[in-house]
Amino acid sequence: MKLGGYANHVARIDLSRGDVQYEGIPEEWARKYIGARGLGVRYLLENGPEVDPLSPDNLLCFMNGPLTGSPANMSGRMAVVTKSPLTGTVTDSHHGGWSAARLRWAGFDGLLFKGRAEKPVYAYVEDGKVELRDASDLWGLGIHETIKRLQERYGERDLTVIAIGPAGENMVKYGCWVNEDDRASGRGGTGAVGGSKNLKAVVVKAKKQLTKPADNAAWKEAHSRALATIMDEKNVTAPRKGGLSVYGTNVLMNITSNMGGLPAFNGKVTSFGDGAELLSGEWVEQNILVHNPTCHACPVACKKEVEITEGPYAGVRMESLEYEPAWSLGANCGNDDAASVAAMIDRANDLGMDAIEIGDVLGCYMEATERGIQNGDAGLAWGDHAAMFETIRKVAYREGIGNVLADGVNATANYFGYPEIAMTVKGQGIPAYDPRGLKGMGIAYATSNRGACHLRAYTPASELGLIPLRTDPLEWKGKGELTKIFQDLHAFSDSLDLCKFSAFAEGADEYAAQYSAMVGVPFTADDVMETGERIYNLERYFNNLAGFREGSDYLPKRFTTEPSTMPGSEGHVCELDQMLEEYYAVRGWENGVVPQAKLQALGIV
C-alpha cells in the first residue's frame, strides 16, 4: 500500500486453531473507510452480518487509525468493533489512554480475532508479532488485579493491558473491554464477545516511536492549525479553554438539569433538581478531585481522578467520574450521593461492564419495583446505593436477579411485565440527554446505528452552544439535517481515530489537512464529509442485512407522548416522526433502509 500513516500490518488471529496470520490493508478499503471505526466495519461486513454475536464466527476487531501514534491532538483512541450481543447491530466502542498509540508503535493497524480458544488466553503483542498465551490464572479476576499481574509479569514501562472482567467472562450482554483500569470501550457488549471467545486480555508492549507523516511540511502546518483551534483563548468553547479541562465532562450535569434536558428516575422527569448539583463537576472539583490524568497527545485532560476519604466508600480512588455514568448511576436512579456513584463506576469498571448500561438497567428495575413486582423479587428502591452496589456484583456473576439484569434493559422490563419502561433504542439504553429538552438527541438516538447513543451525532454541541453553529434545543425543525452532518463528521473522526471533543474546535477542514499530510494524498473538507457519509451508510447497510429494516428507528414512547413537567422544557415532547421524515429525505434512505442506488453512488457495492 502506497499511503503514508499506516503500518499496513493487520493480524488475523484464529483462536480456535491458535493460529496467527498477517496481512496488509487493501488500499481501496483504506481510501474509502480510513481506519479504526470505518475499516473495522468493512472487515465485519466481509465476515457476514448474519453471524450470531456470541458464536465463534463473530469477528472482534481492535483498530486504530492513520493518525494514531502521531502527535495529532487527541489521537489516543482505539475502536473495538464487532457485532453487538446487546443490540444485534454493528457496534464500535472507543477507549482513550495509550493503548491505540502503543498498538501502532508495536507495528499494527489492527487485530482481528475469530473463533474460540479451548481455554482462556490473552494476546501478547510486541515488535509486529502476536502470540497467544495461557490466561487460566487470570480468568475470574477483576480488571484491576488482571492489569496488576500482567504488569508484574512484563513490567509497567511501555505496557498497555486491555482486559475483560467477570462480566465479560459470564457474557453479560453489556460487558466491556477496559484499558488502564478505568478507560472503557463501554457500549455494545464488546467484552461479552471477548468472553465468548475465551479471550481475557490484549497486552501490548511498545516503546514510543511516533508515526511519521508522508508530507512533513504540510503536517507541521496542519498540526499547528489544529492545536491553535483547541487552545484558542478567544474561543470560550474551545476544549482547553472551556469547562472540560476544569470540571471534566461532568460540567454538563447542572446545565442539562437546569434546562430540563436531564432524564431522571428512568426518564420519568427531565431534571434532577438540587440533586444535580451534588453530582456535578463543580461539586467534584471542590470536594473529591485529586488529579487530572490525560491520554496520548491530549492537551485537554478531561479525565477527573477522585478519591473518597470518608463514609462507607472511603478508600475508593478512580479516574472516570464522568458525566454519562454519573448520570446513569446518579440522577437516573434517584441517587445524589457522589461518593457512591464513584464507587459504583469503579466497581463496574473492575467487573468489566458498561457503567452507562448498568445504570439504565437499575433505573428500569427501580421503576418496576415502584409499579409493583409480582414474581417474588424483593426489588430495588430509588436511590438505595448500598443495594445498587451489591446488585452490580450480582449482575457480573449472573447471581439471582442479576441473571435477568445481565441481559439488558429490554430483558429486565419484559421480565417484570412492563416493556414500556425500557428506555432503549435497538436494545441499548439511552445516555444522559432527554429528547424532550434536547430534541436533536431524539433523532440522533433513533437513527444511531449502534443503538441509543449520543456519540454518533453529538447534537448538544450545537444545542448547548458549544460550537459556533448554535440551534434552539426545543426546536425540531432542521434537526434531521443537523444530525446527518454530525453523524458523517463523527464517522470520519472516529476512523482517524480522534476524540469527539476535538470537534468542539476542529472541523472538516482541520481533519482533511491532517489526514492529507499524514497519508500523502490530496483531501478536502468535502472529501471528509463524503467519506463519513460512506462509513455511516456502510454501517446502516450492515444493519439492514442483519435484519434491521423499515421501522427500526424509534424512541421509547415516554419521550414522544409524555410531556416534560420540568422548567426549561415544560410541556414539550419529542417530535420524532417529523424529524425522521426530514432525516430520511437528506439521507436518501427509504424508511431507514439504504437503497441500492445510494450504495452504488457511495461506492459501497
Q: Do 320 and 349 contact (CB within 8 A), yes or no?
A: yes
**pTM of the predicted protein model:** 0.96
Q: Do 197 and 306 have their domain in common?
A: no
Q: Do 517 and 222 contact (CB within 8 A), yes or no?
A: yes
Q: Phi and psi (nearest 5°) for 355?
A: -75, -15
Q: Of 602, 194, 173, 181, which Cα lies nearest the Cα of 429? A: 173
Q: Do 599 and 537 contact (CB within 8 A), yes or no?
A: yes
Q: Do 397 and 447 have their domain in common?
A: no
Q: Is the predicted pLDDT of residue 293 greater than 90, yes or no?
A: no
Other beta carbons within 10 angstroms of residue 111's beta carbon come to: 23
- Residue 466 binned pLDDT confidence (cut-offs 50, 70, 90): confident
Domain boundary (151, 171, 205) is at 205
Other beta carbons within 10 angstroms of residue 399's beta carbon come to: 14
Q: Is the predicted pLDDT of residue 240 greater than 60, yes or no?
A: no
Cα dist from 500 to 85, 147, 379, 604, whole Å: 25, 27, 38, 25
Q: In terms of DSSP bridges, do strands 199-205 and 121-126 run parallel, antiparallel, or are they unpaired?
A: parallel
Q: Do 566 and 268 contact (CB within 8 A), yes or no?
A: no
Task: Classify burial at 51, counting beta carbons within 10 Å of its beta carbon; exposed 0-12, middle 13-18, buried 19 or more.
Answer: middle
Q: Is the predicted pLDDT of residue 292 greater than 60, yes or no?
A: yes
C-alpha cell at 272: 434532577
Q: Is the predicted pLDDT of residue 392 greater than 80, yes or no?
A: yes
Q: What CATH number did the domain enclosing 391 receive?
A: 1.10.569.10
The secondary element (H helix, E strand) that includes residue 200 is strand 199-205
Q: Do 379 and 527 have their domain in common?
A: no
C-alpha cell at 580: 425522521
Specify the 3-state DSSP secondary structure of 590.
Answer: strand
Q: Do 407 and 446 have their domain in common?
A: no
Other beta carbons within 10 angstroms of residue 600's beta carbon come to: 10
Q: Do 117 and 220 contact (CB within 8 A), yes or no?
A: no
- Residue 81 binned pLDDT confidence (cut-offs 50, 70, 90): very high
Domains of the chain: total: 3
Kindly state whether residue 39 falls inside one of the protein's structural domains.
Answer: yes
Q: Do 256 and 201 have their domain in common?
A: no
Q: Do 88 and 144 have their domain in common?
A: yes
* Residues 6+ away with beta carbon under 8 Å from 153: none
Cα dist from 572 to 46, 70, 377, 560, 561, whole Å: 44, 46, 35, 9, 9
Q: Please name the residue that has the C-alpha cell 454530525.
A: 486
C-alpha cell at 300: 485537554
d(CA 184, CA 199): 16
Q: What share of the chain is helix, strand, coil (3-state, %, to 5)?
A: 40, 15, 45
Task: Give the per-residue pLDDT at 86.
Answer: 98
* Residues 6+ away with beta carbon under 8 Å from 25: 1, 6, 8, 10, 39, 109
Task: Give the per-residue pLDDT at 233.
Answer: 56
Other beta carbons within 10 angstroms of residue 285's beta carbon come to: 18
Domain boundary (402, 427, 452) is at 427
Average pLDDT estimate for 47-69: 97
Q: Do 438 and 457 contact (CB within 8 A), yes or no?
A: no
d(CA 337, CA 331): 10
Question: What percent of the chain clears pLDDT 90, i.e. is strictly above it?
Answer: 86
C-alpha cell at 41: 466495519
Rounded to 5°, the CA angle 138-143-145 comes to 60
Taking only the tens place, the pLDDT of each residue in 541-586 is 999 999 999 999 999 999 999 999 999 999 999 999 999 999 999 9
Q: Is the predicted pLDDT of residue 514 greater than 90, yes or no?
A: yes
**Among the listed ranges 5-19, 235-249, 319-333, 349-363, which one has the minimum average pLDDT value?**
235-249
Q: What CATH number did the domain enclosing 511 receive?
A: 1.10.599.10
Average pLDDT estimate for 446-468: 94
Average pLDDT of the chain to the nearest whole number: 95
- Residue 237 binned pLDDT confidence (cut-offs 50, 70, 90): low
* Residues 6+ away with beta carbon under 8 Å from 600: none
Task: Give the per-residue pLDDT at 1.
Answer: 83
Average pLDDT estimate for 63-73: 94
Q: What CATH number did the domain enclosing 49 receive?
A: 3.60.9.10
Q: Do 441 and 418 have their domain in common?
A: no
- Residue 38 binned pLDDT confidence (cut-offs 50, 70, 90): very high
Q: Phi and psi (nearest 5°) for 312?
A: -65, -15
Task: Give the per-residue pLDDT at 239.
Answer: 59
Task: Give the per-residue pLDDT at 234.
Answer: 61
Q: Do 528 and 460 have their domain in common?
A: yes
- Residue 501 binned pLDDT confidence (cut-offs 50, 70, 90): confident
Average pLDDT estimate for 291-319: 87
Taking only the tens place, the pLDDT of each residue in 471-482 is 999 999 999 999
Task: Give the per-residue pLDDT at 356.
Answer: 98
Specify the 3-state DSSP secondary structure of 369.
Answer: helix
Q: Is the predicted pLDDT of residue 235 greater than 70, yes or no?
A: no
Kindly state whether residue 350 falls inside one of the protein's structural domains.
Answer: yes
Task: Give the per-residue pLDDT at 515.
Answer: 97
Q: Do 416 and 373 contact (CB within 8 A), yes or no?
A: yes
Task: Give the per-residue pLDDT at 561.
Answer: 98
Q: Do 253 and 195 have their domain in common?
A: no
| Structural Rg of the chain based on CA atoms | 22
Residue 290 belongs to domain spanning: 248-427
Kindly state whether residue 121 falls inside one of the protein's structural domains.
Answer: yes
Task: Give the per-residue pLDDT at 290.
Answer: 87
DSSP 8-state assignment for residue 264: B
Q: Phi and psi (nearest 5°) for 404?
A: -75, -50
Q: Please name the residue that has the C-alpha cell 444511531.
A: 448
Kindly state whether residue 565 falls inside one of the protein's structural domains.
Answer: no
- Residue 241 binned pLDDT confidence (cut-offs 50, 70, 90): low
Q: Do 404 and 454 have their domain in common?
A: no
Q: In terms of DSSP bridges, do strands 199-205 and 159-163 run parallel, antiparallel, or are they unpaired?
A: antiparallel
CA 439 to the chain's CA centroid: 21
Cis peptide bond upstream of 109, omega within 30: no
Kindly state whether residue 389 falls inside one of the protein's structural domains.
Answer: yes
C-alpha cell at 62: 481492535
Domain boundary (427, 445, 479) is at 427
SS3 of 487-550: the string is HHHHHHHHHHCCCHHHHHCCCHHHHHHHHHHHHCCCCCHHHHHHHHHHHHHHHHHHHHHCCCCC
Average pLDDT estimate for 203-213: 94
Task: Give the per-residue pLDDT at 500.
Answer: 86
Kindly state whether residue 237 falls inside one of the protein's structural domains.
Answer: no
Specify the 3-state DSSP secondary structure of 425.
Answer: strand
Q: Do 279 and 340 contact (CB within 8 A), yes or no?
A: no
Average pLDDT estimate for 191-217: 96
Task: Give the per-residue pLDDT at 568.
Answer: 97
Q: Do 327 and 388 have their domain in common?
A: yes
Taking only the tens place, the pLDDT of each residue in 401-450 is 999 999 999 999 999 999 999 999 999 999 999 999 999 999 999 999 99
